[in-house]
Amino acid sequence: MPTPCGFGGAFGGIPMQRETQALPARGLVLALTVLWEVLSQPVTGCHNSIMTLTELKYIVAVAREKHFGRAAEACFVSQPTLSVAVKKIEEELDVKLFERSANEVTVTPLGEEIVRQAQAVLEQAASIKEIAKRGKDPLSGPLKLGVIYTIGPYLLPDLVRQMITHTPQMPLVLQENFTVKLLEMLRTGELDCAILAEPFPDAGLAVAPLYDEPFYAVVPVHHPLAKRESITSEELKSETMLLLGTGHCFRDHVLEVCPEFARFSSNAEGIRKSFEGSSLETIKHMVAAGMGVTLVPRLSVPKAALAHKSKARSSTDESFVKYLPFSGEPPTRRVVLVWRRSYTRYEAIAALRNAVYACELPGVKRLS
């Protein structure tokens, strides 16, 4: 008796290959016609509906956002449309993918496995398109690039100019976000590649180092330390440290340089020793206002701020802060380019990396 949704490699218990070899041409055609008619009939236990890539994209979005409304927005559809599609998949598979509550959606253990497989399917489907593009021109078409907040404002202006000059047929589609979010978007295929700072919690990506970037201290211009030409991390221990908010990897980098501030940044007592800002530029304004000191990556230091011979100073906030290098071996961060190992537009990745190297990148150490 045939099993549901298939015949186990035999038709009516007789191996097809052995039978067809014994049939004359006319008999073979007749047998194949009968077989086609049988296979074309609905079989008890089979579902006529087929999951689509769009529906798989919906369940991946719900798992990522943990909210049907936000998932619908991310997929550019209405919430009812997304909800109906998710329910259809659950009914088709006869499993529950998500636990719904008033405030949050959680993925069931079985749902997590299915979502991981859906991500893999979406990635492979995207690879088919990429292979086709690569066969024509791997440098043709947009490149979806993610960048963390503490790199984007300082690298992208020059990088975009380089890309327009050298590969105008490959425009950058840019996404600025936290490291964790960019990694998730890479896994789901929403991004092709990303520029991050190490370390980051993912080992399944291809990684190409770009440059090592030293840190500079920023102090108010009238601060006693402003008279110095350089500084040490020891001298920062007694200062009020201004930090980026939770989620920024550069915050962790600063706490590695000055670990004594970690205990203040996680409790109310730390108000006296550390403050948080939403961006490096906001924190610079806070330093200019005399609220404390901070650390910044080298590319965020304005050229004019390091021009010691320039006597004319503008009336901007940069006039009220001083940037100090570290004495001896400075603390640094390693900036890297990452992409999925299954990504097929190798030439596009190489072109992007070359464009980064073509940027000015003052004060950093380029890596090959």
Question: Mind listing the pLDDT tens digit for each residue in 128-163?
Answer: 877 776 667 888 889 999 999 989 999 999 999 999
Residue 31: what pLDDT? Answer: 46
Q: Is the pLDDT of residue 344 over 90?
A: no
Which residues are CB-neighbours of 339 under 8 A, at least 6 positions away?
Answer: 186, 192, 193, 194, 205, 206, 349
Contact between 322 and 227 (Cβ < 8 Å): no
Which alpha helices (H) appear in 137-278, and where do they start and end? 152-166, 179-187, 249-257, 262-265
Which domains are delineated in the chain? 53-132 (1.10.10.10), 138-306+313-368 (3.40.190.290)
- Comparing 26-35, 96-105, 118-127, 242-251, the range with the smallest average pLDDT is 26-35
Sign of CA dihedral 253, 254, 258, 262: negative
Mean pLDDT of 315-336: 82
Contact between 348 and 139 (Cβ < 8 Å): yes
Residue 43: what pLDDT? Answer: 39
| Nearest alpha carbon to residue 223 among 236, 211, 214, 212 | 236
Report pTM: 0.64
Greater confidence, 172 or 241? 172
Radius of gyration of the chain (CA): 29
Query: What is the helix (H) or strand (E) element at residue 59, kind and residue range?
Result: helix 53-65
Rounded to the nearest integer, the mean pLDDT of the chain is 78
16 burial (CB, 10 Å; 0-12 / 13-18 / 19+) is middle
Residue 87: what pLDDT? Answer: 92
193-197 and 332-340 beta bridge pairing: antiparallel
Q: How confident is the model at residue 307 (pLDDT cuts 50, 70, 90)?
A: low
Please give the share of the chain, as a percent, with pLDDT higher than 70: 73
Tell me how far apart the alpha carbons of residues 274 and 238 are, in angstroms, rounded to a whole number.
11
Residue 318: what pLDDT? Answer: 57
Residues β-bridged to residue 174: 145
Q: Is the pLDDT of residue 260 over 90?
A: no
User: C-alpha angle with apex 49: 88 to 111, nearest 5 degrees?
Assistant: 40
Q: Is the pLDDT of residue 173 over 60?
A: yes
Mean pLDDT of 294-307: 85
Tell me how far apart the alpha carbons of residues 321 and 284 are, in angstroms, rounded to a whole number.
8
Residue 209: what pLDDT? Answer: 96
Residue type, 250: F
Residue 261: what pLDDT? Answer: 47
Residue 2: what pLDDT? Answer: 44
